[in-house]
């Protein structure tokens, strides 16, 4: 994997994970925003943020063979949550929550491209990204 790409991807992952920990943690500690919060969403954000900061970003930074699968799992989780919010919770979900999930999904798509693009160059093979 290209070191510059993996380092950039790891830094982006660490930042987006830290933001999720901060935002989810604030709500879990009682600082509620001015809109309805779906009960499980801050818990999801906090847990995924912690896993991102403590595991996924480190795997990416170290060029681990598990970096790409971890990025895929994280992106898939965010997309699934976004789809759940858009379908099952469409009448109650706050616009800010939808924007946050779109930002997470787009950011993890970029991270995945960085990680998989580096892996493709290292192996000399061409692989499709998602």
* Tens-digit pLDDT profile for residues 27-83: 999 998 888 889 999 999 999 999 999 999 999 999 999 999 999 999 999 999 999
Tell me whether residue 130 is in a domain: no
Tell me whether residue 129 is in a domain: no
**For residue 127, what pLDDT band results from cuts at 50, 70 and 90?**
low
Query: Quick one: pLDDT at residue 129?
Result: 53
Query: Quick one: pLDDT at residue 32?
Result: 85
Domain extent for 73 = 3-122
With CA atoms as reference, report the closest residue to 68 among 18, 19, 2: 2
**Distance (Å, rounded) from C-alpha 24 to C-alpha 33?**
11
Q: Count the domains in the chain.
A: 1
Tell me whether residue 21 is in a domain: yes
**For residue 130, what pLDDT band results from cuts at 50, 70 and 90?**
low
Tell me whether residue 128 is in a domain: no
């Amino acid at each position: 994997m290209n070191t510059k790409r993996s380092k950039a991807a790891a830094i982006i992952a660490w930042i987006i994970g830290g933001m999720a920990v901060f935002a989810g943690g604030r709500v879990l500690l009682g600082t509620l925003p001015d809109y309805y919060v779906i009960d499980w969403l801050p818990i999801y954000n906090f847990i995924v943020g912690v896993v991102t900061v403590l595991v996924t970003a480190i795997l990416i930074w170290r060029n681990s063979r598990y970096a790409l699968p971890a990025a895929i799992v994280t992106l898939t989780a965010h997309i699934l949550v976004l789809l759940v919010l858009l379908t099952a919770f469409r009448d109650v979900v706050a616009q800010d929550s939808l924007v946050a999930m779109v930002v997470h999904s787009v950011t993890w798509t970029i991270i995945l491209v960085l990680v998989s693009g580096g892996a493709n160059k290292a192996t000399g093979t061409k692989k499709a990204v998602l």
